[in-house]
Amino acid sequence: MKRRIIDIISAASVCAGLLVSWRLIIFIFQLPAYLLPSPISVTQAVIQRFPSLLVSLGITSMAAGGGWLASIVVGIIVAIVFAQSHWIRRMFYPYTLLLQTVPIVAIAPLILMWVGTGTFAVGVITFIICLPPVIANTTQGLISTDKNLVSLFLMHNSFGSGLLPELRYRLQLLWKLQLPSAMPALFVGIRISSGIAVIGAIVGELFAGSSRVGVGGLGYAITYANAQLQTDYLFALVFFASGLGFAFFFLASFLEWYFLHNWHESALSPEED
């Protein structure tokens, strides 16, 4: 308890120090508000425009969350298919890497042409950049199951031979061994993509943020505030965006802890071990 208080105080003093030096920099260099607004005017912008901030936050959360969730579901399914044979992996895995290296800024306009503007398009962009880490990590987790445990499942396989029994055996292996074994790796993928989901959504919104003029997600509002030289509001939006990214990351970490704390080493706190 005492340690926690010290933790909070030290984190808070760094925050206070940053705010003070922020204000000092403006004072020393005599910066105008449109270049660097003061902490106070940013706070005022937050308070005054809180409703529209919340709307933007809600829209971006939906797009980022939807794309993220879809990438997890699709990523798991693709990884399961990849885990079935190394031939499938040889044929298709390189394209997963390709997906990861495609500059999202470059293909965003293309996606807009294909699926139109608005939250759905932003979700699609988020989905595309979140997908590779989920596929890569989950596939790795599925195929690196303990060989001896696979042998154990094979030895006690009671489905007999034939196509249908083979399928049932594969499903049993997947459900009772491979998927649980892959959970830690899956959560690494989920955590990595949680960080980039918000970035993806905001990049998407820079291109396609709004289906109605004036109303859009954080990325759209950022371009709008920038164009209007509302730098204090821009700052407020940036803070909200990084707060959202942090929330996603926190959610991923919490889920990881919730599902794995009973058994997986990496999820154990040091005191427990």
Partner 1 sequence: MTLPLPNIQEPQPITTPSGQVELRAVTKRYGNGSPVLEDINLSIAESEFVSIIGPSGCGKSTLLKLVAGLTRLSSGSVRVAGVEPVRARKMMSFMFQDATLLPWRTVQRNVELSTELHGVKKAERAAIAGEMLSLVGLSQVAHQFPRQLSGGMKMRVSIARALSTRPKVLLMDEPFAALDELTRDRLNEELLRLRAEGRWTGLFVTHSVAEAVFLSDRIIVLAAQPGRVTYDLPIHFSFPRNAELRLRAEFEEAVIEVSKNLRGVMERRKEGKEP
Cα separation, 162 vs 154, in Å, equals 14
108 closest CA partner among 134, 135, 126: 126
Nearer to partner 1, 99 or 268 (CB): 268
Angle at 265 between CA 261 and CA 270, to 5 degrees: 85
Cα separation, 52 vs 32, in Å, equals 25
CB of 257 to partner 1, least distance (A): 14
- Within residues 182-241, the interface with partner 1 by CB under 8 A covers 183
Write the DSSP string, 119-133.
Answer: HHHHHHHHHHHHHHH
Q: Does 180 bind partner 1 (CB under 8 A)?
A: yes
CB of 149 to partner 1, least distance (A): 5
Q: Does 257 bind partner 1 (CB under 8 A)?
A: no
Nearer to partner 1, 100 or 157 (CB): 157
Q: Does 264 bind partner 1 (CB under 8 A)?
A: yes
- Within residues 95-154, the interface with partner 1 by CB under 8 A covers 146, 148-149, 151-154
CB of 260 to partner 1, least distance (A): 8
Q: Give the x/- contact pattern for partner 1 in 23-42, rule: CB under 8 A.
A: --------------------
Q: Is 229 helix (H, G, I), strand (E, B) or coil?
A: coil
Task: Give 237's contacts (C-beta < 8 A, 6+ positions apart).
Answer: 53, 56, 218, 221, 222, 225
Cα separation, 226 vs 234, in Å, equals 7
Q: Does 271 bind partner 1 (CB under 8 A)?
A: no
What residues make contact with partner 1 under the rule CB under 8 A? Answer: 146, 148-149, 151-158, 172, 176-177, 180, 183, 262-265, 268
